[in-house]
A and B are shown apart, each in its own frame.
Chain A
Amino acid sequence: MAEDALLVASGLTMRFGGLVALDALDLEVRSREVLGLIGPNGSGKTTFFNVVTGLYNASDGSIAFEGGDITNLSPQEIYRLGITRTFQRSRLSLSLSVFDNVWAGNFRNLDQGLIHNLFRRKTLRAEYERAVEQVRALLATFDAHLADRLFQPAAALAMIDRRRVEICRALISEPRLLLLDEPSAGMTHDETAELMDDIMQVREKLAPFSIVIIEHEMNVIQRITQRCVVLNYGEKIAEGTYAEITANPDVQVAYLGQE
């Protein structure tokens, strides 16, 4: 195990009935790195995210985050430790405003008490005014015009803007680890490239955090990741830099075998 490990999954297994979606997976995410998680369809990538974020309880194995055991913690507890994510299929609340959608990602920093929310309107107003500036600034790093659409329903946004909003929701609480599940889905090459640049730009400004990115677009993986892990049928079949894994015959077989 490396010195600077942020998240360590050991022997992580997830079974759905007879189907083994994750098979004794050992995976490590290091501090400040961008790790690519790739593999053919159905190889267990999203399942890994779901287990890490507590949506599924692991059938076996364990996960440690910053040295503490987080196996089978609730999603809420895991979020509070600083792990956020996006979803493969966009999960915004379309009827709510852009601001509401982004700010809904910040509950680990918000007072949810009834008294505070109902009766301390002055304090709340100050919080709100700061929140608007914070969200506006974050959105502006992605796209200047998006910052002007703060109080439009998310439903009014184009696909790429929805992705941006979703990523802002994951970033607003300044996470330690960001999990991106196919951020390029439904977008063009150029849009994807732009989105990735924006994420990296935000990352410079915030306290540096690690990213795990699931991605089918190989040029994205090549451009932004330092390391990659390749899954096939829930098993890790390769690990290393982009150059190393693309040269790996097992990986080539896994991808070709699927085609």
Chain B
Amino acid sequence: MRVPLTSRPVLLFVVAALVTWALAWALLGAETQLEVLALFCVTVAVAVVAAKMKLDAPVAAAASSHPRALGIACVVGVLALAVVFHEDHFPLLLLCSVLLYITACLGLNIQFGYVGIVNFAGAAFFGIGSYTAAMLAGHTGLPHVLVLLLGGAMASLISCVLLLPVLRTRGHYAALVTIAFATLFRSFLEVNDALGGPQGMRIPALNLFGWDLGADHEWGELFISFYDNYVLFALALAVLAFVLVRRLERSWMGVAMDAVRTDEISAKVYGISIARQKIVAFMFGNLLVGIAGATYGMMTGYVAPNNFTFADSLILVSMLLLGGLGNPWGIVPAAALILILPEKLQFIQEYRFLLYGVVIILILLFRSQGLLPRGIRRYFPNREAARG
């Protein structure tokens, strides 16, 4: 007897995971623009067909009744990509970038998605992380774990400067404050010779407790790109950030932050300190952004003001919007698409910012909730699923 596919959610989930992985693999490995375009069309076609066959709902149901499955699938998927591409620098570099951008976006998600502060200076805080790492790793003998943490701490501390105006203003005005900061930050870097001016600075590779992440491995025939080191580290970082952000959301603080975002008056009247929630969200968020930035700088070995423009901040925000504001899972496909597609499609490169603009407008017009809209808060889904 044939069982309809829709009644086998677990099987469907596995198939969906494999198809997604195959698409990610093909996209990362694609060499010509034609391949990429074809892949993009296949992806859209797969999505449309799945939606037409009503396969998306059972897949989502399977994912939510096995809350750990999605996370495990993603980790395994990334590790599999790291194995498959072990010789190729470029796909691995892209993979690392995606992971680090995911980490940064998770930070911004606390601010924008939960407490409701739009931070248009994401790239600046990312840059503060990178520059801090460059200064500390270049001029001191501090262990690199500390360098990364201090990169985050520095971003978090400097964001305190912004807090006063951000707390006093609301909505669009707070956003303007961050835009002003992003612009100032870049000008400051360009004129500051101690920080390398417009040319920027070199940063030594990351070295954790004797593990040199900047070194390739060679065992006889086997060659493993040094980027695989960074994939492992960036993956661990992204998972850690994800767990922290999830826990924050699934706690009383998550409720308090949502209350502040949705209605400040009610929040106040029910004892929630608006300032405290915003301060925690802003500083915690920028801490994650800064750590991601520090790691990114040490991976690429180079920082320059051009990497941290206002346009880069817009990219971060557009990832949040595309993914679905407030849903950490949305960030994963959004960061992958927004980073990888333009990188692979040279003809887009020149117009990429134009394209981001168009993408954002299209999302806001047609799917304002993003690819994966945020659902109702579930506090302890693992336990609920175990109970059945």
A residues with CB within 8 A of B: 53-55, 74-76, 79-80, 84-85, 87, 91-97, 100, 103-105, 107-108, 110-112, 114, 117-118, 121, 124-125, 128, 151-153, 169
Contact = CB atoms under 8 A, between A and B. Distances in A.
Given A111-B252, A118-B247, A79 B270 contact: yes
27 contacts: A54-B269, A75-B268, A75-B271, A80-B271, A93-B262, A96-B255, A96-B259, A96-B262, A97-B377, A100-B255, A100-B377, A103-B252, A104-B255, A104-B256, A104-B266, A104-B270, A105-B270, A107-B270, A110-B252, A112-B276, A114-B253, A114-B280, A118-B251, A125-B380, A125-B383, A128-B380, A151-B378
Contacts of B256: 104, 107, 112
Given A96-B262, A104-B256, A117 B270 contact: no
Contacts of B379: 124-125, 128
B331 to A, nearest CB: 19
Interface of B: 244, 247-248, 251-256, 258-259, 262-263, 265-273, 276, 280, 284, 374, 376-380, 383
B263 A91 contact: yes
Contacts of A76: 268, 271-273
A53 B266 CA distance: 11
A92 B270 CA distance: 12
B244 to A, nearest CB: 7
Which 7 pairs show the lowest CB-CB distances between chains A and B?
A: A117-B251, A93-B262, A79-B271, A75-B268, A107-B271, A117-B253, A97-B376
Nearest to A127: B252
Contacts of A94: 262
A107 B274 CA distance: 13
Given A55-B268, A79-B271, A112-B256, 17 more contacts: A54-B269, A76-B268, A85-B269, A91-B263, A93-B262, A97-B377, A104-B266, A104-B267, A104-B272, A107-B252, A108-B271, A114-B253, A117-B251, A117-B254, A118-B244, A118-B251, A124-B251
A2 to B, nearest CB: 27
A220 B347 CA distance: 70
Nearest to A104: B259
Please indicate which of the listed interface residues A54, A76, A105 has the most CB atoms of chain B within 10 Å of its own CB.
A76
A46 to B, nearest CB: 12
A104 B347 CA distance: 50
Contacts, number: 97
A121 B266 CA distance: 27
Most chain A CB inside 10 Å of its own CB: which residue of B268, B271, B284, B377: B271
A121 B258 contact: no
Given A55-B268, A79-B269, A117 B248 contact: yes
Q: Name the prevailing secondary structure of the B interface residues.
A: helix
Given A104-B256, A118-B251, A84 B270 contact: yes
A118 B251 CA distance: 7
A75 B263 CA distance: 14
Contacts of B253: 112, 114, 117
A75 B267 CA distance: 9
A151 B376 contact: yes
Nearest to B266: A91
Contacts of B383: 125
A96 B270 contact: no
A125 B252 CA distance: 11
Contacts of A85: 269
Contacts of B276: 112
A168 to B, nearest CB: 12
Contact of B376 (A79, A104, A110, A153): A153
Given A97-B376, A118-B251, A53 B270 contact: no
Contacts of B263: 91, 93
A176 to B, nearest CB: 14
A169 B265 CA distance: 14
Contact of A103 (B248, B255, B284): B255
Contacts of A79: 269-271
With most chain A CB atoms within 10 A of its CB, the pick from B276, B284, B377, B379 is: B379
Contacts of B280: 114
A68 B381 CA distance: 45
Nearest to A125: B380
B269 A75 contact: yes
Residue with the greatest number of chain A CB neighbours at <10 A, chosen from B244, B252, B268, B273: B252
A143 to B, nearest CB: 20
A100 B280 CA distance: 20
A94 B298 CA distance: 44
Contacts of A128: 379-380
